[in-house]
Amino acid sequence: MGVLPSADGSSGTAEHAVVIAGGGPTGLMLAGELALAGIDVVIVERRTSPDLDGSRAGGLHSRTIEVLDQRGIADRFLSAGQVHPSVGFAQIRLDISDFPTRHNYLLALWQSHIECILGDWVAELGVPILRGCEVVGFAQDDGGVDVELSGDTSLRAEYLVGCDGGRSVVRRTAGIGFPGLDPSTSWMIAEVEMDDEPEIGMRPEGGGIGPVDRADGGGPYRVVLKERQVQHAREPKLRDLSDALAIAYGTDFGVHSPTWISRFTDMTRQVASYRRGRVLLAGDAAHVHPPQGGQGLNIGVQDAVNLGWKLAQVVGETSPESLLDSYHAERHPVGARVLHNTMAQVALSIPDDRHRALHDTMTELLSMDEPRRRIAAMISGLDVHYDLGEGHPLLGRRMPDLDLHTADGSTRVFTLLHDTRPVLLTLGQPGGFDISPWADRVRSVDAEHDGVWELPVLGEIAAPPAVLIRPDGHVAWAGDLTDPELPRALTTWFGAATPAYLGTPGHTDGDQSCL
Ligand SMILES: Cc1cc2nc3c(=O)[nH]c(=O)nc-3n(C[C@H](O)[C@H](O)[C@H](O)COP(=O)(O)OP(=O)(O)OC[C@H]3O[C@@H](n4cnc5c(N)ncnc54)[C@H](O)[C@@H]3O)c2cc1C
């Protein structure tokens, strides 16, 4: 087998800390997270160019915009899309404009634009992308992974992450089970021109017709149509689309000039494990489900943000490899919940009288505030709660983006997270805890906040005197600085105290059992 030249030009197999298979939204986000943390990462991408065939995902939900805001790049996306004050659940519109977040809306933006903006960010961070190159296999040993590439070449990495989509080669090669449901329904999707003015809008059974350019309207049009059969021997063609339009609308609107015709199903599967040794899975490689609710791309990006800082700390040897187990523990339940709600949405969209009655009942229920808030927070990703045990309501939840006053001026919480470092934020009386043993990894900030603390669904909560915020924006600890859990949380999430500080007079942590 041939080898790719190392970055220094020598002829040995190129070595990287992390190889990412797949440069879709999940792979790009993960690469950005790792690069920000100073990790040597490379993306291997099958496509020869960044262009995407077709628009696919149509938008970003609140929590995804928040994680992009945590890295200082949300404005790039906001300036390219249009905001809408509601999210959809089985086509029932749920207003989220009263949600306690700066991003209380859905951002309509096609996946092709999302990938383009993420690609520019990753390029600025200097991440190499090997385009027109496929991961075809790998072998892992105690020290790393030999990643086999198309063209009879290879790379050596400490870790391999499969972000290579629903048909993931990495998942298959790792032998990780992918249990779930086979498809029950199939939809055709296309981008086409039409001679006649089509009927714009959703169809009761899901899908419909809309302009690709949502701001200006007009053609080309994106068409999504439920198919009569689930199994198909070949890819759909223009003729099939024309027939499906005629069945649904009584006319094909003079459809022509397709730039993209494909199909998707409601196949619903999730990997049994997000990690096998030095190989991890994220995004569609780890979970596939129908697009109802528009959550797939969003949870892939959020998988990447959960994994990035953990992998960076393990590669950087500040944390043990066991930290990576928390990636599966935290993200598998989130993925499972999305699979569950998409199955419910597919069932609610079945166009018969009984399901229509059920849909009407759900619509009535969701017009009430409490059910609306719960379901909308789930779809928008704002209700994610990692199980970090008992404690303050913030524990395991996303930290709100509070306005802060510090000695250096005004700032906000998300700004403090731009460089992917954890933050110990003290809002009460400063002092009382010596952060020096973790100061090389954790930033300590004393600040004041005047307003109330409000969380989605839960409402107003009591302000804690201090919070420990992970790089992904989730709260690892909240309480008083004298709480013995604080050094434990610092050690669990960000590694052992620097030995030079142990036992020094200024170090107030008497309990070293966790170090
Ligand atoms: C019709 C439709 C509508 C959708 N609407 C929404 C929506 O509104 N909102 C939403 O959030 N999601 C939506 N989704 C889902 C969304 O498109 C996916 O969840 C998202 O693309 C997953 O991103 P990913 O990076 O994990 O995988 P992918 O986007 O599949 O990217 C995988 C990448 O890996 C590359 N690759 C594959 N195999 C290899 C290999 N062996 N070696 C190297 N590279 C490889 C591929 O070329 C690709 O670039 C929709 C999907 C469909 C089909």
Asked if pLDDT for residue 274 goes beyond 60, the answer is yes
Nearest CA-CA partner of 414 in 72, 42, 115: 72
Report the chain's mean pLDDT, rounded to a whole number.
Answer: 93
Longest CA span, the chain: 82
d(CA 147, CA 322): 23
Its pTM stands at 0.94
CA of 393 to the centre of ligand 1 (A): 34
Asked if pLDDT for residue 16 goes beyond 80, the answer is yes
The pLDDT assigned to 503 comes to 52
pLDDT of 19-38, one tens digit each?
A: 999 999 999 999 999 999 99
The pLDDT assigned to 7 comes to 43
DSSP reduced 3-state for 490: helix
Segment 385-406 mean pLDDT:
97
CB atoms inside a 10 Å sphere around CB 106: 26
CA of 169 to the centre of ligand 1 (A): 14
Asked if pLDDT for residue 93 goes beyond 70, the answer is yes
pLDDT of 315-334, one tens digit each?
A: 999 999 999 999 999 999 99
The pLDDT assigned to 505 comes to 44
The pLDDT assigned to 2 comes to 42
d(CA 168, CA 137): 11
pLDDT of 210-252, one tens digit each?
A: 999 988 899 999 999 999 889 888 999 999 999 999 999 999 9
DSSP single-letter state for residue 448: B
pLDDT of 174-204, one tens digit each?
A: 999 999 999 998 999 999 999 999 999 988 7
Which of 109, 171, 189, 284 has most ligand 1 atoms within 8 Å of CB, for mutation?
Answer: 284
- Of the CA atoms within 13 Å of residue 113, those in its CB half-sphere come to 16
Residue closest via CA to ligand 1's atom 30 equals 165
DSSP reduced 3-state for 188: strand
Least confident of 48-52, 284-288, 468-472: 48-52
Closest atom of ligand 1 to 296 CA is 19
Is 138:124 a contact under the CB 8 Å cutoff?
Answer: no
The pLDDT assigned to 11 comes to 44
Which residues have any ligand 1 atom within 6 Å of their CB?
21-27, 44-47, 56-59, 111, 134-135, 163-165, 169, 189, 264, 283-284, 291, 294-298, 300
pLDDT of 432-463, one tens digit each?
A: 899 999 999 999 999 999 999 999 999 999 99
pLDDT of 477-508, one tens digit each?
A: 999 999 999 999 999 999 999 976 655 444 44
d(CA 405, CA 430): 13
CA of 288 to the centre of ligand 1 (A): 10
Residue closest via CA to ligand 1's atom 37 equals 164
Least confident of 5-14, 394-403, 406-415, 434-443: 5-14
